[in-house]
Each structure stands twice: as C-alpha cells, then as structure tokens.
Amino acid sequence: MAARALAVSAALALAFLTLGPVAVVLARAGGFGVLGPGDWQAVRFTLWQALLSAAFSVVLAVPVAKAMARRRFSGRGLLVTLLGAPFILPVIVAVMGLIAVFGQAGLVNAGLAALGLPTIDIYGVHGVVLAHVFFNLPLAVRMLFSAWQAVPAEHFRLTASLGLSGQAQWRVIDGPLMARVLPGAFTVIFVICLTSFAVALTLGGGPRATTVELAIYQAMRFEFDLGRAAALAVLQLALALAAGLVALRFAGQSGFGAGRDRVVPRWDGQGPLARIWDGAWIVLAALFLLVPLSTAVLRGVPGLWLLGPDTLRAAGHSLMVALGSTALCMAWALPLASRRGELLALPAIAISPLVLGTGLFLIVRPFMNPFDLALPVTGLVNALMALPFALRILRPEAEAVARDYGRLRATLRMTPLAWLRLIWLPRLRRPMGFAAGLTAALAMGDLGVIALFADPDRTTLPLQVYRLMGSYQMEAAAGAALLLLMLSLSLFWLFDRGGRVNAAT
C-alpha cells in the first residue's frame, strides 16, 4: 500500500512538472503565438538535419556492426565499451574535439591544404549533422551489434550447412534483423536530433541552420515571446510523438527465437575481400570516434594551467547540479520502475527543457527572485530529462525481482521496509549504479536551461566553456573542456563502480 502511494505521488509530481510549466507559459502568454517565416524555416531545418543525422547514423552503423559481430580481434571488447562513451560525453567537449579535427585549423583541413585541395567549413548543416552522427553512430552500432549477437548460433550453422550464398543469408537473417531493429534506431536518433540545442548553438552558423529548440531559446532570451516559444515546444513534441508512432507501425516484432547459447565460428564473409571490407569499417569507425576525443584531451592539457577562479567556481556549480539531479532522478525513478511509469516519463525526452525551465521560473516568481534558483531549477530539469533513460535501465530488473521474489515476500509476510532492505535494493544495486552514473554524466555536461537564466555568479562548467569559446580564449576553453570531461567520466565511473561492488547480482 505504501509502495503504491509512493508511486502515485511520484507519478503526480512527474505529470505536474511535465505539463504544469507548459500550461503556465501558455497562460502567461495568453495562448499560442503565431509562428513567423523564420520559425517555419527552423522547423524545416530541424526535420531535415534530424532526417539526415538519423539516416547517416543507421546506414553507416550497418557495416560497422556487422563487421564487429562476425570478427574476433584484439581490443574488440574495449572498442565495444568505448562505443558507449559518446553518449555520456559532454556535448561541448565533443564539439571542441570535432573542431580540432574538422575545423578551419583542424587536422583534416591541414591535410587538404597540404595536398592543394579546398578546405571544408564545419559550421552549418554539415557541421550539425557531423556532430549528431558522432554522438549517435555508436548508439546505432550498439543496437545492431546486440541484435546480431542475439541471433542463435544454430542459425549461422544451418546457413553454412545448407551452403547458402551471401544473398540468401541476407534474406533469412540480415534482412529480417534490420527490418526489426533499424526503424527503432532511426526513430530514437531522429527524436534526439529533433531536440538538439547545444550542437546547433555552437555549430549552427546562422538563421538558416537554427533548430526548433534554438528558436525557442531565441524567442525567450531576446524577444521574451512566450506564446511563440510554447507553440514551437508543442510542435516539437508533436513531431517526436508522430515519429514514435510511425516507428511502432513499421517495426517488426518477431525475433529469431532461442538457441542453446553456444559460440560457434562464423562461416560467412571469410574471403579476403570480406576481411578487408570489415577491417576497413572497423578502423574508420574507431578513428572517427577516438581521434576527436583524443585531440580534445591533448589540446586541453596545456589549458589546465589557465583555469581561473571563475572556471573552478563553475565546476563546483556543475558538481552540485549533477549530484542533486542524480539524487532526485533516482528518488523519482525507483517508485516508477514499471511499464506505466516508463510510458508516463516518455514525453520528457521530447518536450523542450527551455520551456520547462521558463515555466518553473514563472511558478516561483511570485514568491522569490527566480534567478536565485537558476541552479536548482537546472538540476530539476536535468533530473526530468534523464528520467526516461534511468527507467529504461531499472525497469527490467525491478520487474524481474518482483516476479522472482514476490511469492517469497508473501510467504514470509515481509514488511515493506524488510523487502526494501533485504531484497529490492541489493538486487537492484547494479542497475541503480549504472543509472545514477548515466544521470550524473548527462547532468554534468548539460548546456540547456542554464544558458537561458544564468548570471555570471551562477555559471556551470559547460556554459563557462561556451563563453570562453565565444571570447576566443580557445586554450583556456580547451582546458575547461578537459576538466569537464574528467569530472563527467569520474562521476559516471564512481556511481557505476559503486553499484557493482558487492552487488547481489
């Protein structure tokens, strides 16, 4: 009974904090504003860049994931682990790494200039798409790679025994697998790119490369047109929900069944051309992901000695926001770790954090100066944004524990406190650590609400990096970005490691 009351309270708080701020913004604006030509241009650009980013990510992921699934090589496990790094990488750090490689003075342009070829410009739609592919290609590879690994080995043994050609194997294994996985991967990446803000802010390069989220930021910060911002936010949410419905309509449901979990050799793709093809894709993917990250680290080391008191104070603010967001997100997620809770939290992925933050500021405005609450409101919005990801991690384990130990609980007549202390928390310790680490890293690197409301005394580290870049203090910005990267990865490691030490499962 107490657990149900807690879950209902958490659900009501989630519904209030998701819908309440939007309603307050609408009430303050007196209804939806009228969208102008610039706003429709932002909508078209948002759809176009999201479409390109999702398409490039899933198309490039197919050969990379297939190569990694059928090849065994030294460092394969490490590469699979590193594929998860871009997801927790602060956006501003990744942008600095990409500028170091593809920017005007970057490695690629230096090579092109040495060969007498024209250089490339990273700013604009191609820069936005490049950054989105950098973040989302690993996600698509991991989804496809996991699907290929889940195909029972008996299927590959049977295709080899029957002597099926590569084309025939495509029809019976690869094609159905991609029809089942790719629509979901495409939609997830499409929705993530729909709400892009920091990438468009740093690499957009002008009105022709403005996303809807960036248009919301401009409407609020420069014009304080709440009605137009609310209309854009609702339009963005509708686009994301429509994309989700389309994916559900076309996604296949059936898998390949269960096997005997045996590891057998792969007989397909053993010719020299296939080996060269797979090796080339693995090397290119590793270079594309690791070179920008390594460059950001190498260029940031000299900048560590240029860190001033403002940057260190911003780092302290970011740590407080990240830890507060993590505590709030976990306290929120544990009672909602069910299918209903996960469905209830889904809109948080697509709704504009800038509108949420503005609505919360308007709610507290009659009682106190809202700018004094810039950091707590940022932490609250970050917790809300991370909640769907935390629930996706916690829900399977929470349902398994309830299913496996529910009868024992009833037989022993365990009190809620005993169930929580002896069964639930020990069994969920590992996914809780991973979810907390993910939430802390995402909150640490967020550049969203704080960009709208921060004053010089309440700056977070990502915003400080952006300001240093804007004032052309690139070496100091690189040092601050490296500090941000170290803090983000340290928080993730500490929480994830803490969840795995002496875990029950």
Give pLDDT, residue 250: 58
Averaged pLDDT of the chain: 81
Comparing CA positions, the residue from 344, 350, 385, 363 lying closest to residue 26 is 363
Burial label for 141, CB within 10 Å (0-12, 13-18, 19+), is buried
Give the residue with greater pLDDT, 221 vs 491: 491
- State the pLDDT confidence band at 190, using cuts at 50, 70 and 90: confident
Give the pLDDT of residue 253.
53
The pair of three-digit structure tokens given for residue 375, joined into one six-digit string: 């950091």
368-390 as b/e, with b when 16 or more CB fall inside 10 Å?
eebeebbbebbbbbbbbbbbbbb
Give CA separation, 326 vs 8, 155, 462, 492, in Å.
21, 43, 18, 11
Contact 96, 477 (CB under 8 A): yes
Q: Write out pLDDT tens, residues 6-55.
A: 777 777 887 787 778 878 887 877 777 778 888 888 889 999 999 999 99
pLDDT (0 to 100) of residue 34: 77
What average pLDDT does this structure show over 268-290?
A: 85
The band of 344, judged by pLDDT with boundaries at 50, 70 and 90, is: confident
pLDDT category, 318, cuts 50, 70, 90? Answer: very high
Q: For 60-81, how does the pLDDT look when each residue is reduced to its tens digit (9 = 90+)?
A: 999 998 888 888 888 777 787 7
- pLDDT 10s digits, 449-460: 777 777 777 788
Sign of CA dihedral 9, 10, 15, 20: positive
Yes or no: say if 140 and 61 are a contact pair by the CB < 8 Å rule. Answer: yes
Query: For residue 397, is pLDDT > 70?
Result: yes
Can you tell me the mean pLDDT for 74-89? 76
Instruction: Assess whether pLDDT exceeds 90 at residue 82.
Output: no
- Looking at residue 423, what DSSP letter applies? I
pLDDT band at 362 (very low <50, low <70, confident <90, very high): confident
Q: Do domains 1-30+305-504 and 32-255+269-299 have the same CATH topology?
A: yes
Joined together, the tokens standing for residue 53 give 């980013």
What does the pLDDT read at residue 74? 82
Question: 91, 485 in Cβ contact below 8 A?
Answer: no
**Beta carbons within 8 Å of 316's beta carbon, 6+ residues apart:** none
For the chain, the distance separating the N- and C-terminal CA atoms, rounded to the nearest angstrom, is 27
Instruction: Tell me which of 361 and 262 has the higher pLDDT.
Output: 361
pLDDT band at 59 (very low <50, low <70, confident <90, very high): very high
| Cα distances (angstroms) measured from residue 107 to each of 5, 29, 93, 202, 292 | 57, 48, 17, 19, 10
Average of per-residue pLDDT across 181-194: 83
Strand ranges for 250-398 from DSSP E: none
From the options 3.60.21.10, 2.60.40.10, 1.10.10.1100, 1.10.3720.10, give the CATH code of 1-30+305-504: 1.10.3720.10
What is the per-residue pLDDT across 222-255, written as a single tens digit (0 to 9) for each? 777 878 888 888 888 788 777 766 766 655 555 5
Q: Look at residue 223 in the predicted model and tell me its pLDDT.
A: 77
DSSP 207: G
Name the nearest CA neighbour of 155 among 70, 258, 77, 68: 258
- What is 32-255+269-299's CATH number, 1.20.58.220, 1.10.579.10, 1.10.3720.10, 1.25.10.10? 1.10.3720.10
d(CA 401, CA 425): 10
**DSSP code, position 90:** -
The beta strand positions in 156-253, using DSSP E, are: none
Find out whether 85 and 437 touch, Cβ atoms under 8 Å. Answer: no
Question: Domain locations in the chain?
Answer: 1-30+305-504, 32-255+269-299
